[in-house]
Amino acid sequence: MARDEKLKERWGILVEKLSDQFADGEDLDLDGIIYLIGVQELGQLHREFKKDEKLDLMHIAICRLLEPYGYYEFDYYDDEGWPHYKMKEQLPSLKAGEQSVLMKEAIVSYFLVSEYIK
């Protein structure tokens, strides 16, 4: 099976599983999944987040997802338990579709490593 087809298949399985678990079966979009990863990485699962904190959670997720690609490196946890990353390499200029594929690939990899999907 071609790499793109495998990614598409795994992405579909992941969206379905996460949507069933966290969105009452309504399909989560890419941003929703990134937000969930941010909450998971922060580890403060049962609390409400303000609008600016939600953006911070998405930033945490993006840094964590792109860490294996060499773009970010974990730096430290602050006094409130929020992880901080430092940029190691500037992200290349990508078209919107290419950004989407990179993030989906990173997300699928994240959930494969955690064995949430196979």
Q: Which helix (H) or strand (E) holds 70?
A: none
| Confidence check: pLDDT of 87 > 90 | yes
Q: Residue 13 to residues 16, 20, 57, 114: CA-CA distances in angstroms?
A: 5, 11, 24, 15
Residue 92 located in a structural domain? yes
Confidence grade of residue 31 (pLDDT, cut at 50, 70, 90): very high
Minimal CA–CA distance to 3: which of 107, 118, 99, 101?
101
Residue 118 located in a structural domain? no
Residue 80 located in a structural domain? yes
**What residues have CB less than 8 Å from 89, skipping those under 6 apart?**
70, 71
* pLDDT (0 to 100) of residue 2: 76
| Confidence check: pLDDT of 72 > 90 | yes
**Predicted TM-score of the model (pTM):** 0.92
Residue 59 located in a structural domain? yes
Query: If you count DSSP H runs as helices and E runs as strands, how many of each does the chain have, helices first?
Result: 4, 2
Backbone φ, ψ for residue 24 (5° rounding): 50, 40
Angle between the N-to-C axes of helices 51-66 and 30-42, in degrees from 0 to 180, rounded to the nearest 10: 90
* pLDDT (0 to 100) of residue 114: 94
* pLDDT (0 to 100) of residue 1: 61
pLDDT tens column, 9-19: 999 999 999 99
Residue 20 located in a structural domain? yes
| Confidence check: pLDDT of 25 > 80 | no
Percent of the chain predicted with pLDDT > 70: 99
Q: Residue 64 to residues 2, 6, 23, 25, 27: CA-CA distances in angstroms?
A: 26, 22, 23, 26, 23
- Domain extent, residue 44, equals 3-112
pLDDT tens column, 33-59: 999 999 999 999 888 999 999 999 999
Q: Count up the domains in the chain and report the number.
A: 1
* pLDDT (0 to 100) of residue 84: 97
Residue 117 located in a structural domain? no
Q: Enter the DSSP assignment of 24.
A: T
* pLDDT (0 to 100) of residue 4: 87
